Amino acid sequence: MRITAIRLQRLRLPLDPPFYAAWDPVPRRSFEATIVRVETDEGVVGIGSGDTMTGFEEFAHLFIGEDPFSIARHVRAIETTAFHGARYWPLEAALWDLIGRAVGRPCAELLGGSVARVPAYASWGELRSAEQRAEDAVALLEDGLRAVKIRVAPERVDEGVAVVAAVRAAVGERLEIIVDLNQWWRMAGDVGRGLGPVDALRVIERVREHGVLWVEEPLPGGDLSGMRALRQATGVRIAGGEMVRTFDELRAALDADALDVYQPDVVLALGISSARTFAELALRRNRWFTPHTWTNGIGLLANLHLCAGVGGGPFIEYPCDPPGWTLERRDFMLATPLMADREGGLRLPEAPGLGVQLDEEAVAFYAVDSEAVTT
Ligand SMILES: [Mg+2]
C-alpha cells in the first residue's frame, strides 16, 4: 500500500457567544480545525486533526509514495519537520487511523488493547463565579461525571480557591477535583513572569485543604526541579507536559522525578507512537499517564485510543464547559459528538481505526479555503 495524497482542509466555526478561555485574555470568537486526510492507492483513507498543520504543505512530499504502515519512519520524518516547523502530529494520527481501517481493528487494540472505556474528567475552560461553579458541578454529577478540572488564574488566586471551596462544598466527596494553573502554557506574546515557587506552594497548600486529585502546571517554563520540590513539600500530585515538543523533554521530567501525572497530547506534543513509548516508561514507574486533549473531537479520539490502549488514567480529559464550550462546538466536524456515558466514562467507538465519522456537510459548510492537496 502506498500513500498517494495528503489533503488538508481548514475549518472555522464561528463562536457566538464567544468562548472565554481562562488561559487567553482575548475572547475566542471562532474555533479553527484542520482535517488531515491521507489517501492510498488501495482506497483506504485515514483521518486526523489537532495541531493546525500550518506550513505542512512544503513537507508533504516526504510522505507521498511511502507505505503508510512504516510508522516508525514516518514518526522520525515528522520529528525532523517539527524541528523546522509546527507540530504535524495529526498526520501520524491519520496514519494510525488508516492502519486501523486497513486491518479492521480499533487503534486502541493496536496500541495495547488494555481497556475499552476510560473514565472522563470534565475539563472546564472558563473562569466563573464560585456560585455558578457550585451549580455547574452539581450538573456534572447529574450527568454521571465523577471528576472535574477547574482553572485557577495565577493572577486571581483568591477567586480560584473560592471556586474550589464552593465546588467541594456543593458535591462533597462525590466528585474528584483537579486544579490547573496553566503556568507551563503561554499565549504568544505573554512575557509575564508567572508565579514563583513560594507563591505556587501557597496556592497548592490552599487548594489541598479542599482535597484535590492533582495540581497541573503550577510553575512556568517547565521548571522541573521546582515542580519536584512542590510535590515533595505538599504531598499533592503535580501534573504537566501537555505541550512539550520532544520526547526527551518529557523523559527529562521523568528522570528528574518532577511529576506524578504525565499529560502529552498525541496531536500536539509527541504523537501517538512516542507518547505510547513514554507511557510505558511512566506506567512502569507507577506514575500516571493521562493525555491532555483540548483540540477537537478527532484529537480527543486519538488521545482516547492511546490512553485506553496503554491503560492510562485514572481519568481522561473531556473538554466540556457549556454554554461557552459545548460538545457540539468541540466536535463540530463529527457526525455525533463524543459523549460520556451515564457513569461518566468515554467508551471507544467499535469502528476500525480511530472511529472518526465526519459530518461531511458541516465540514463543507465551515471550510475556509480550498483544500491543500499534495500528491
Ligand atoms: Mg492543562
Q: Please indicate, yes or no, if residue 56 is contained in any of the structural domains.
A: yes
| C-alpha 131 – ligand 1 centre gap (Å) | 23
| C-alpha 183 – ligand 1 centre gap (Å) | 9
Confidence tier at 353 by pLDDT (50, 70, 90)? very high
Based on the domain organization, do 93 and 233 belong to the same domain? Answer: no
Any idea what DSSP says for residue 370? P
| C-alpha 289 – ligand 1 centre gap (Å) | 13
Q: Please indicate, yes or no, if residue 355 is contained in any of the structural domains.
A: no
Burial class for 308, CB neighbours closer than 10 Å (0-12, 13-18, 19+): buried
Residue 327 CB partners (closer than 8 Å, separation 6+): 320, 337, 338, 339
Coil, strand or helix at 4: strand
Q: Please indicate, yes or no, if residue 352 is contained in any of the structural domains.
A: no
pLDDT for residue 370 is more than 80: no
Based on the domain organization, do 160 and 309 belong to the same domain? Answer: yes
Residue 43 CB neighbours (<10 A): 8
| C-alpha 341 – ligand 1 centre gap (Å) | 23
Based on the domain organization, do 191 and 282 belong to the same domain? Answer: yes
Residues 236, 360: Cα–Cα separation, whole Å: 45
| C-alpha 152 – ligand 1 centre gap (Å) | 11
| C-alpha 242 – ligand 1 centre gap (Å) | 7
pTM for this entry:
0.97
| C-alpha 97 – ligand 1 centre gap (Å) | 26
Give residue 84's pLDDT: 82
Give residue 301's pLDDT: 98
pLDDT for residue 124 is more than 90: yes
| C-alpha 179 – ligand 1 centre gap (Å) | 9
| C-alpha 82 – ligand 1 centre gap (Å) | 22
Based on the domain organization, do 41 and 157 belong to the same domain? Answer: no
Based on the domain organization, do 244 and 294 belong to the same domain? Answer: yes
Please name which of 159, 153, 243, 254 lies closest in space to residue 194, comparing C-alpha atoms: 153
Q: How many domains does the chain have?
A: 2
Residues 343, 330: Cα–Cα separation, whole Å: 21
| C-alpha 125 – ligand 1 centre gap (Å) | 10
Residues 83, 292: Cα–Cα separation, whole Å: 22
Based on the domain organization, do 71 and 165 belong to the same domain? Answer: no
Q: What end-to-end distance do the CA atoms of the chain give, in Å?
A: 15
Residue 202 CB neighbours (<10 A): 12
Residue 5 sits at φ, ψ, to 5 deg, of -160, 150
Confidence tier at 372 by pLDDT (50, 70, 90)? confident
| C-alpha 282 – ligand 1 centre gap (Å) | 18
| C-alpha 149 – ligand 1 centre gap (Å) | 9
Q: Please indicate, yes or no, if residue 78 is contained in any of the structural domains.
A: yes
Distances (CA, A) of 327 to 10, 29, 53, 146: 20, 16, 23, 18
Based on the domain organization, do 95 and 198 belong to the same domain? Answer: no
Based on the domain organization, do 174 and 31 belong to the same domain? Answer: no
Residue 76 CB neighbours (<10 A): 11
Based on the domain organization, do 96 and 149 belong to the same domain? Answer: no
Give residue 73's pLDDT: 98
Q: Please indicate, yes or no, if residue 353 is contained in any of the structural domains.
A: no
| C-alpha 126 – ligand 1 centre gap (Å) | 13
Based on the domain organization, do 85 and 160 belong to the same domain? Answer: no
At 272-305, the pLDDT tens digits run 999 999 999 999 999 999 999 999 999 999 999 9
| C-alpha 182 – ligand 1 centre gap (Å) | 5
| C-alpha 217 – ligand 1 centre gap (Å) | 7
Domain span at residue 86?
3-105+360-374
Q: Please indicate, yes or no, if residue 236 is contained in any of the structural domains.
A: yes
Based on the domain organization, do 193 and 275 belong to the same domain? Answer: yes
| C-alpha 373 – ligand 1 centre gap (Å) | 33
Give residue 110's pLDDT: 98
Q: Are 161 and 203 in contact (CB under 8 A)?
A: yes
| C-alpha 159 – ligand 1 centre gap (Å) | 19
Based on the domain organization, do 215 and 280 belong to the same domain? Answer: yes
**The CATH number of the domain where 184 resides is what?**
3.20.20.120
**The CATH number of the domain where 69 resides is what?**
3.30.390.10
